[in-house]
Amino acid sequence: MPRPPPIRLLTTTAVFTQLLRPAAACCKRQFIDRYNLTGTALPTAWHNLTVNEARRQHVMTAMGFVPGLLFDDPRALRLEFGVRNGDMISYTSATRPASWGRDAVVASSLPWDGFDSFKGLPKSTLNAAKLGWGAGKYSVKGALPKVPSHVRLHVGWFNETLPPFLDGLGRGPVAFAHLDADIYTSTISVLDALAARCRLRLGTVLSFDEIFGPKGIENEEFRALNEAAATHGFAWRFITYLNHPKTLFGRAAVQVTGLGQRCAGVARAEDGGGGGGGARGGPGRRGKKRGGS
């Protein structure tokens, strides 16, 4: 009689690739199909990069969608929400798209602003906790990272640091924002603060680090995006996404393609009629289906 195969203990990597990955593939694929993301994917060659390298490529590709006029506006804001150890902002702030629509970057020392409590995630919902995003996750215990000198760090909770920044030093249109705070409450506080002050422009790019993937994740960053768009009347479309096979989480960036009446008026008054240089890729459309719970 043939002997049964020996019982193997799975390493952590094997647990991920053999047990979790099929489920992740299912949920990420559902989102991609539901919102018709195909066509905005990064080349699959990037799947050979590490997850972190691929994340950087995704963010830089998304940044390339910002219209040149908006990116180079001296008032323009380049922002990160969720800085932690400064890896991503150190990378993104050091480079910029070489020219609009080109897949190339050049060195840059344009100002960036990064926001973080440096104490980890605030307490949130049961859903966030189930996704592994409990209070204090990603804390660096208040230690500030070393970042390039053209990056200003704003230490504290977003709802306390962002409004005064936008009402003072940071009076300008948002060219690009990387939202990497994971959870709904943090992300909505950012989007509300920006949109209520009419800082989004046609062409603004918002890049989300964990917008799709495991079950329940759409109630976090994606819910915040949909709610902010509905509340403040802006329209957006997906421009890029990253579905890396070695992570459960899917990244995607969106571009603002329409502004509510009030903010369109503010943009005309502040920018002299341009509203930020215009979005690439035709008329605005939102995702097919509204997110949120």
Ligand X SMILES: C[S@@+](CC[C@H](N)C(=O)[O-])C[C@H]1O[C@@H](n2cnc3c(N)ncnc32)[C@H](O)[C@@H]1O
Q: By CB under 6 A, tell whether 158 contacts ligand X.
A: yes
Question: Is the separation of the CB atoms in 107 and 192 below 8 Å?
Answer: no
Tell me the closest approach of the beta carbon of residue 254 to ligand X, in angstroms.
Answer: 18
- The residue among 76 and 121 lying less far from ligand X, judged by its C-beta, is 121
Smallest separation (angstroms) from ligand X to the CB of 18: 26
What's the rounded Cα separation, in Å, for the pair 36 and 47?
A: 20
Per CB under 6 A, 157 contacts ligand X: yes
Q: Provide, rounded to whole angstroms, the least separation between the CB of residue 231 and ligand X.
A: 18
Q: How far is the CB of 121 from ligand X (least distance, A)?
A: 5
Q: Is 122 in the site for ligand X (CB under 6 A)?
A: yes
> Tokens 């306390």 identify what position?
160
Q: Quick one: 113 or 182, whose CB is closer to ligand X?
A: 182
User: Residues 181 to 200: which contact ligand X by CB under 6 A?
Assistant: 181-182, 186
Any idea which residue has 């603004």 for tokens? 204
| Binding residues with ligand X: total (CB under 6 A) | 20
In the complex with ligand X, the residue whose CB is nearer, 197 or 237, is 197
Q: Among residues 117, 127, 243, 257, which is the contact residue for ligand X, using CB under 6 A?
A: 117
Angle at 53 between CA 50 and CA 54, to 5 degrees: 85
Per-residue DSSP letters for 75-133? T-EEEEE--TTSHHHHHHTTEEESSTT-S-EEE----EEEEE-SS-PPP--HHHHHTT-
Task: Show the CA angle centred on residue 161, arms to residues 157 and 164, nearest 5°.
Answer: 155
Only one of the segments 9-17, 65-73, 116-124, 213-221 lies at the binding site for ligand X (rule: CB under 6 A); that segment is 116-124
Q: Which residue of 88, 147, 195, 256 would you call a contact of ligand X, by CB under 6 A?
A: 88
Q: How many residues does the chain have?
A: 293
